[in-house]
Structure 1
Amino acid sequence: MTAAPPHLNRRMIETLLADWLPKAKQRRLVLIYGRYEEGSSEFTVGVAGDRRRVHVTDQHSVLGLVEAWQRHQAERAADDVLVVTTSIDDAQLGWDVRGYALGRSTQTVDRARIVAQRFGATDLDPRIRTEPWLIDALLDAEPPGGWPRNGSVLTRDAAMRALIGARLGGGTLPEGALDPGALLTWSLEPTGPDRFARLSEQERAGVADWLAATVGEVARIILRLAADGRAADAMPLGLVGTVVTRPNASPEDALAFGGLLAGVQPQVLRAFTDAVGGTIERWISEAESGGLLAAVARERVTAVAERADQLAASANLTEALQDSRFLPSSLASTLRALASALSRPPAKGGISVVERVLDDVRNHALARLYPERLRAAEMAVRIHRWLASPLLDVTSVAAAVRHQIADWAWVDRALTTLWVGDAGGHPAVSQAYRALYQAARDRRERLDEHFATRLASWVSRASSNDPGGCLLVEDVLDAIARPVAGRRAPLIVVLDGMSTAVATEFGEQAAARGWREASPRQGERLAAVTVIPSVTRAARASLLAGTLNVGDQAAERGGFTAYWRKHRRGAALFHKNDLAGQAGHRLADALVDALAGEDVVGVVLNTIDDALDHGKEGERTGWLMHEITYLPELLDAARGYGRPVLLVADHGHVLERSATDKPLKAAGVESARWRAGAPGDGEVELAGPRVLLGGGRVTVPWREDVRYTSRKSGYHGGASLAEMVVPVLVLLPSEELLPAGWHVLSPEAVIPAWWEQQRASLPEPTAPVRGPGRRKAEPEPAMSLFSVEEPVESIGARVVATDVYAAQRAFVPKAPDKQIVATVIDALFDADGSLSLSAVAERAGRAARRPEFFAATLQRLLNVDGYPVLSLRDGDRNVKLDREMLQAQFGVRV
């Protein structure tokens, strides 16, 4: 025995004894050529159903070995086994000792056989025997629970997967998930890469070779960085590496990146950067999902992106990477480019530049992690479009009301977001947003001034008999609620203080929840004019009584029941203190009983008005339905009982946007936005039958920045359009409840033209502008005069015909019909990749009776390998299709 004695451990000896002792008869001495790592130990092993105690000692001198055997004979039980690991040659031992030993000689160890036995195999892949490093590693790395059993033959792949799981995993790299994404995730863990770096050079090389052959050369880059203690920089380097892999990469950029990561072939680097980008995309999708792993995914993306920025800066590559989709610096650069485009006055050709830069912002992956920044950018561009559109004339109060609900309410909504701006953004971005805000406010102020002028003459004579083309707040029950009640008693929810801007959001959110909005006017959302001054005790009492009225909750309840009694219907009205249920019941029993009955039910919700009054509005940029206390439960109950719903306000509101905390000093102050006395700058005097307070004559401000009392989050009582125009949303759980002659409104029908990007009106760029994936358009081939145009199959039809789609569909039970999916894809594609959830449901028909479920099914069908081809945005209200990713994942082209 000339080879160095192998190192043995307890598990190896247990394996050997399990194989040898059944054939040892009464032999009690086992000599093994090797070194025992633990010096000496005692344990028991199972032999033919019995337990034998084993004593192991490591002896490398003849005298020590003989003494150990003699002591064992004298002190141990008759069936105890002594195992001696030794490096002494048999010739030196002599027959006095060898005669007692198993096989009468020192046993040599077949380490490969031990490996097979530790995996429960009877044989192993011959290639394993040719790789001593692999055998040594498998013997050394066996986990506490033992190796997995993989059948009668241990293959090299099974052995490598098990070894990698034990050496590198620690739970972060399970052997069943070996792919580039798993390795990249592993590279960010502190323990796995450190353990790899501590392996022998031969084992590191063997693992790297196998992973490169199995996963791709990406693995070799990651493991090379791990061996150098730089594993945490693998993904950041993958983001920076795009500076080299793009078509217009310069030699200077390649040289600079080589200082960060040298010696990588271009095709390998491209595969590496693609793998990193794909992994980041998946993490961003996880962060957007809001699940348990959302916070972890967000932290990972942020850490990798910020480190990539640091590496880029260290190599002077920040400017070269301004078109990256993943770096914070490139997102900031894109937002600055947007600010620059927005700062130019709207002109011919100017809007198209803004739209293209907005596309770059939307296409930036990190924008999905900062939806508030993306929302601010989108609102800024929308205001830019509105400022470029013709200004509608305020020819009458009725015209102003129609324009407010159809157009200017959306301006108010956008301005609320724009006021908050881009938190933490560049000063240039904030300045551009501020300038846009002010330009739009100036324009809105002129509209309010014109409206106030028309209002002064209209209010002196307006009444239910002569409304001047307007729907009056006291006529909402007559004109709207009664027709709706024709088939099923409605639930009338009064959202105190809901402005038309807030109503635009609630309309979208209700549609996303499966409600159908209805109106007697095709394509027009309903709105009414409230009373003067636009305060709760006059406006709400008039709304609920169906006639001009002033009073408290008792007056509201009495007026409501009296109105419906007059029309031979029972009715019940519930205020804030009537709504809370007992433990386990969100809504009060009396309210639930009323909803289950046949009477008209009215509920007053004060959340919005309370938030304004108590300063809780803060920097809010919008409202979500679930933020309105009891509203989600009421809507669910109404749907359950098949009731239509009226969401209506008694008045709107203006928000506090003043730079000063001092109110306007004036005489005759009665409330924040109305007083008695002669009007001054920004005010108008109103008198007539609709002026219910102040003796029929009041002075009210039409400018939003005028108030007479202490600072709050918002106010009402004045004569601005935002306060005077009352939104009325009629929501149906089923179109079967649609009143005769009425129409269903899709969300798209009520959106003004400037709100959404109109690509058809934008000339295509002749050269890349900014951002990835933009190429110069190819000239269209000339068409022969006599050629016959072949019918072109739609993009949706081609997608659902692919093998990729078939593979996805196999894992989706009860998948919708292919034609339905194709129709939805085509609709999204034609709409620039974005539609409301309700619009998608309309395209899908009966297949989308549950819109949220249908959207989730579409995601499972289209999101190949977790890539976000289809996603839900804006609180699951809108569906977004990534058109480029769809084409790439399914291998189709327009």
Structure 2
Amino acid sequence: MTPPPTVDHRVIEALVKDQLQHHTNRRLLLVYARYADTVESFPLTGQRRRVHVADHHSVLGMSEAWQRHLADHPADDDLLVVTTSVPEEQLGWDLRAYAIKRSIRNVDRARIVAQRFGAVDVDARVRAEEWLIDGLLDAEPSTGWPRAGSVLTRDRAIRALIGARLGRTVPADGTLDAGTLLEWSRGAEAGRFSELSPAERDGLVRWLTDTVGPAAAVLLRLVEEGKATDAMPLGVVAAVAAGPNPPLEAGLALGGLLGSAHGSELRAFTDAVEGTLTRWAHEAEVSRNGEPARRRVWEVVRRSDEIAAQVRLTESLRGNGFLPSAFSARLQALATAVSGPRARLGDAERALESLRDHVVARLAPERVRVAEMAVRLVRWLQEARTDVASVADGIARYISDTAWVDRALQVLWHGDPGGDAVVGQAYRSVWEEIRSVRDRIDEAFAGRLESWAQHASSVESSGALLIEQVLGEIAAPVARKTAPLVIVLDGMNGAVAAGLGEQLAEWSETSREPGRRDAAVAAIPSVTQISRTSLLTGTVTEGGQTVEKDGFKKFWRTRRRQAQLFHKADIVGQAGSWLSDELFAALADPDIVVGAVLNTIDDALDHGQEGDRVEWRLDDITYLSTLLNEARNYGRPVVLVSDHGHVLDRGGQQTQADGVESARWRRGAPSTGEVALRGPRVVPGDLVAPWREDLRYTPRKAGYHGGASLAEMTVPVLVLLPSLELLPNGWHVLPRERTEPPWWSARTVHAETESAPVKAPSRRKKTPDPAVEALFPVDAAAVEPVTSLGDRVASGEVYEHQRKLVPRPPDNQAVAAVIDALAAQPDGMLTTSAVAAAAGRAARRPEFFMSVLGRLLNVDGYPVVSVVDGGARVKLSLENLRTQFGIDKP
């Protein structure tokens, strides 16, 4: 006779519900089974009756249990279930007469499984697989199985079982994949897989292999062997044997680690591991809470490196895209390419691309950033000019080119964040080479400055913008439409301005000159008490805060404007308010020009905080983000300006000299690295100032100013508009693409020609928009016979239909210009300000224009254009554009 099956209270409950359907008045159920549960009684779900269970394997025990139940429950209808192995023919009619169906009921396990899923029956294939029924009865969650319809299918049953065994919900739509299994292998649930019965393990492996692919078979074998936590690291290392022509040592080394896995099965496993790691790395890169994914990838790849070292495969895996040791090898290859007299740009570019392709690049972007700076400097060196035609030329080239060199040098100075000594030495070599070229530029500038200073004044500045002219030449034209906020970042040099400018994507930057940020020449010497006072009063002078406030008001009073200037003590608010009430009130009044002096950068130079800083962020500068937000809220333009720049301490020695007045200027005769300055803008009278950045006359600080180097004498000026409706007449939109020098981003297309002021596009089909020409110059002779992609879209029937759906649509030529500008980019992306520049006056309100552009081009909801990076950039899908507007490829 077949041994009785073992059951628990859940099986008993299902059996009771089934048997009571037509015997509700019965109180005894005899079951051929063994009861293996500590639950002796339980309420019957959905009824007031309780079920009591007794396990007896003799007729006498069964009878006594029934009599005791009758005695204990004379007045209720509680049910007694007796599980037994006694054959039915041995029972007397005195017991059978009370039992449901007057017999011992067998356990139909498949039927019980169906009931646990709320089904009427099960797929015949479920009945045929004992391991599946056993598993489903054993693994039922405390909350029960999910409802499965009238018939429980094999696929539904196995998915439910896997969901319980893997400790996660497996989607019923078939989306279970290798990535899910690999993630499971790293958890505690994987360790319990080997505890399942061999039959269930084999059944699950077969189904998962059929469903997920051969990668599942390799993974589950590793799990069974107790290698669950090393499964993914082994998959990374196994890539050396999965590729074409694997080295002999790889097969020998991996044989003991991966067993019988080979060929297509092994390749499927390594592909699954690499795909999962790539997905996790992307999640770590783009997710707001990407740290868990980042940790997972690091844990896997670092363990992979350990395994590779143990089996002596590190060298064979140098080309691997996941091992940290391979990343280090690529970084060292880049270091070799950029350093020394044989540095080759082509090799450096290829090494940088290879580095970016490695998954560790996503986990350590700070290391890649330093590598990018090194390659950028090598690019710059190919075309570097050390001549300076004039002071105006030096300042203009500094703000648009050389300041970016200083920015890269600042990053490179700190070396590799990973601490690789070989790479660090290479970066130092690049830094020293570039710095020597920078010294020659500063020396040439100082020579021009020496002769220029003797006669330079606001009357005749030889084409240079003077710091005392910034309010009149820049802030005053901006103020003609609405009062601006003038923010003075004391000590900001061109390199800092370049970094901050990249973070102001929500603003439209503009300038007087096409394609170039404005910059002024600081007063001499380039120190706060002279240069800042000259800036804020509009005349070359010296003084403190009182002089600055009175001079600021006086300057604007002559232009029929009220004005208020706020220094540090005037800005800070009371408890519960970031800014002072007086400053809030001034910002709220559209007739008052507001000035604010922020000292964070200058203070950092004095107190040593700049020394360890790689770059400044907006939030690093106290009150800056708050002031910018308030200005934007009130619709105010912002003039973000410095009073002088600075150089950083790079370990130079204190120079002993006579007549020392400050860290970077003194009285007396010039020596090596210094220049003698005299003239109407040299406020204290004749002086000597160093042009070399490593000269100082006072004890060490984080940085210095007052000297004659370009970094100190250049005053960056950024004009930011909340709306292009405030664009002064004759001024130009300055997209981020135009502020960066070509070598910074290695653009193949860059504006070298001057553009006309932004204006409404011409209605003539073949005339290119000047703003577009400025961003993306083309051969004028080639324009006439060719109809651009944008023209083809804007002249088509689909576009005309879209125009009818948009109230007051922009001019067709403006939209065509935007399409052409985006299509010209390799990745189809431009900053919002660049798109506005291409559209011209049609994008006076960039946010509104982007919205309208989407309504015009996103036919049927397909994303032809989309705003990405939090509104900072616009992306064109060329494929969707051609499909939706019926444009054939040329």
Q: Does 1:278 align with 2:275?
A: yes
Q: 5+ residue gaps in structure 1?
A: 762-789, 798-816, 862-869, 885-891
Question: Which residue of 184, 208, 217 corresponds with 2:205?
Answer: 208
- Equivalent-residue separation in structure 1 for 2:549 and 2:70 (angstroms): 103
- Equivalent-residue separation in structure 2 for 1:821 and 1:706 (angstroms): 54
- Equivalent-residue separation in structure 2 for 1:853 and 1:68 (angstroms): 81
- Equivalent-residue separation in structure 1 for 2:873 and 2:88 (angstroms): 82
Q: Which residue of 1 aligns with 2:497?
A: 503
Give yes or no for contact 1:838–1:851 (8 Å, CA) kept in 2: no
Give yes or no for contact 2:493–2:711 (8 Å, CA) kept in 1: yes
Q: Which residue of 2 aligns with 1:23?
A: 22
Q: Which residue of 2 aligns with 1:142?
A: 140
Q: Deviations over 1:173-213 (max 9, x none)?
A: 67676222222211211x11012121111111111222222
Shift of 1:366: 1.3
Q: Which residue of 2 aligns with 1:726?
A: 715
Are the structure 2 counterparts of residues 65 and 871 from structure 1 closer, same or farther at C-alpha, using a change threshold of 3 Å? farther
Give yes or no for contact 2:494–2:645 (8 Å, CA) kept in 1: yes
Q: Which residue of 2 aligns with 1:93?
A: 91
Q: Equivalences for 1:428-577 in 2 at 5 Å?
A: 428-510=422-504, 512-513=505-506, 515-577=507-569
Q: Equivalences for 1:161-560 in 2 at 5 Å?
A: 161-169=159-167, 178-189=176-187, 191-247=188-244, 249-292=246-289, 294-345=290-341, 350-510=344-504, 512-513=505-506, 515-560=507-552
- Equivalent-residue separation in structure 2 for 1:224 and 1:202 (angstroms): 14
Q: Does 1:614 align with 2:596?
A: no
Q: Equivalences for 1:112-123 in 2 at 5 Å?
A: 112-123=110-121
- Equivalent-residue separation in structure 1 for 2:820 and 2:515 (angstroms): 25
- Equivalent-residue separation in structure 2 for 1:836 and 1:307 (angstroms): 40
Shift of 1:40: 6.6
- Equivalent-residue separation in structure 2 for 1:420 and 1:851 (angstroms): 43
Q: Which residue of 2 aligns with 1:44?
A: 43
Are the structure 2 counterparts of residues 43 and 507 from structure 1 closer, same or farther at C-alpha, using a change threshold of 3 Å? closer
Q: Which residue of 2 aligns with 1:687?
A: 678
Give yes or no for contact 2:818–2:835 (8 Å, CA) kept in 1: no
Q: Deviations over 1:778-807 (max 9, x none)?
A: xxxxxxxxxxxx99999x99xxxxxxxxxx
Shift of 1:396: 2.0
Q: Which residue of 2 aligns with 1:673?
A: 664
Q: Does 1:736 align with 2:714?
A: no
Give yes or no for contact 2:35–2:83 (8 Å, CA) kept in 1: yes
- Equivalent-residue separation in structure 1 for 2:101 and 2:745 (angstroms): 88
- Equivalent-residue separation in structure 2 for 1:54 and 1:208 (angstroms): 38
**Which structure exhibits the higher relative contact order, with contacts defined as CA atoms closer than 8 Å and separated by 6 or more residues?**
1
Letter of the 2:611 partner, please give it. G
Are the structure 2 counterparts of residues 179 and 417 from structure 1 closer, same or farther at C-alpha, using a change threshold of 3 Å? same
Letter of the 2:605 partner, please give it. L
Are the structure 2 counterparts of residues 169 and 838 from structure 1 closer, same or farther at C-alpha, using a change threshold of 3 Å? farther
Give yes or no for contact 2:588–2:634 (8 Å, CA) kept in 1: yes
- Equivalent-residue separation in structure 1 for 2:889 and 2:102 (angstroms): 77
Q: 5+ residue gaps in structure 2?
A: 751-785, 794-811, 859-865, 880-887
Q: Deviations over 1:791-838 (max 9, x none)?
A: 9999x99xxxxxxxxxxxxxxxxxxx9x99998799478447875564
- Equivalent-residue separation in structure 2 for 1:37 and 1:847 (angstroms): 78
Q: Which residue of 2 aligns with 1:590?
A: 582
Shift of 1:578: 2.1
- Equivalent-residue separation in structure 2 for 1:366 and 1:357 (angstroms): 15
Give yes or no for contact 1:824–1:843 (8 Å, CA) kept in 2: no
- Equivalent-residue separation in structure 1 for 2:605 and 2:878 (angstroms): 41
Q: Deviations over 1:303-354 (max 9, x none)?
A: 111112222223332222222222111110101111111124367xx31111
- Equivalent-residue separation in structure 1 for 2:153 and 2:844 (angstroms): 48
Letter of the 2:275 partner, please give it. G
Letter of the 1:104 partner, please give it. R
**Higher alpha-carbon deviation: 55-64 or 5-14:** 55-64
- Using the size of structure 2 for normalisation, the TM-score is 0.85
- Equivalent-residue separation in structure 2 for 1:282 and 1:357 (angstroms): 24
SS at match of 1:324: coil
Are the structure 2 counterparts of residues 669 and 518 from structure 1 closer, same or farther at C-alpha, using a change threshold of 3 Å? same
Are the structure 2 counterparts of residues 429 and 836 from structure 1 closer, same or farther at C-alpha, using a change threshold of 3 Å? farther
Give yes or no for contact 2:509–2:719 (8 Å, CA) kept in 1: yes
Once superposed, what is the RMSD of the aligned Cα atoms?
A: 3.5
Q: Which residue of 1 aligns with 2:692?
A: 703
Give yes or no for contact 1:542–1:549 (8 Å, CA) kept in 2: yes
**Higher alpha-carbon deviation: 4-13 or 418-427:** 418-427
Give yes or no for contact 1:823–1:843 (8 Å, CA) kept in 2: yes
Shift of 1:621: 1.4
Shift of 1:470: 1.0
Are the structure 2 counterparts of residues 184 and 43 from structure 1 closer, same or farther at C-alpha, using a change threshold of 3 Å? same
Shift of 1:720: 1.0
Are the structure 2 counterparts of residues 671 and 194 from structure 1 closer, same or farther at C-alpha, using a change threshold of 3 Å? same
Question: Which residue of 593, 598, 604 corresponds with 2:597?
Answer: 604
Are the structure 2 counterparts of residues 415 and 828 from structure 1 closer, same or farther at C-alpha, using a change threshold of 3 Å? farther
Shift of 1:30: 1.7
- Equivalent-residue separation in structure 1 for 2:370 and 2:848 (angstroms): 27
Shift of 1:22: 4.6
Give yes or no for contact 2:641–2:718 (8 Å, CA) kept in 1: yes
- Using the size of structure 1 for normalisation, the TM-score is 0.84
SS at match of 1:106: strand
Give yes or no for contact 1:651–1:716 (8 Å, CA) kept in 2: yes
Give yes or no for contact 2:485–2:638 (8 Å, CA) kept in 1: yes
Identical-residue share of aligned pairs (%): 54
Give yes or no for contact 1:39–1:58 (8 Å, CA) kept in 2: no
- Equivalent-residue separation in structure 2 for 1:724 and 1:523 (angstroms): 21
Letter of the 1:221 partner, please give it. V
Letter of the 2:57 partner, please give it. H
Q: Which residue of 2 aligns with 1:806?
A: none
SS at match of 1:577: helix
Q: Deviations over 1:218-267 (max 9, x none)?
A: 22222222211212222222322332344454455445444432433533
Shift of 1:139: 0.9
Q: Which residue of 2 aligns with 1:64?
A: 61
Give yes or no for contact 1:332–1:425 (8 Å, CA) kept in 2: no
Give yes or no for contact 2:486–2:596 (8 Å, CA) kept in 1: yes
Give yes or no for contact 1:564–1:571 (8 Å, CA) kept in 2: yes
Shift of 1:563: 0.4
SS at match of 1:619: coil
Shift of 1:842: 5.8
Give yes or no for contact 1:493–1:605 (8 Å, CA) kept in 2: yes
Are the structure 2 counterparts of residues 791 and 703 from structure 1 closer, same or farther at C-alpha, using a change threshold of 3 Å? closer
Letter of the 1:678 partner, please give it. A
- Equivalent-residue separation in structure 2 for 1:629 and 1:821 (angstroms): 42
Q: Which residue of 2 aligns with 1:629?
A: 622
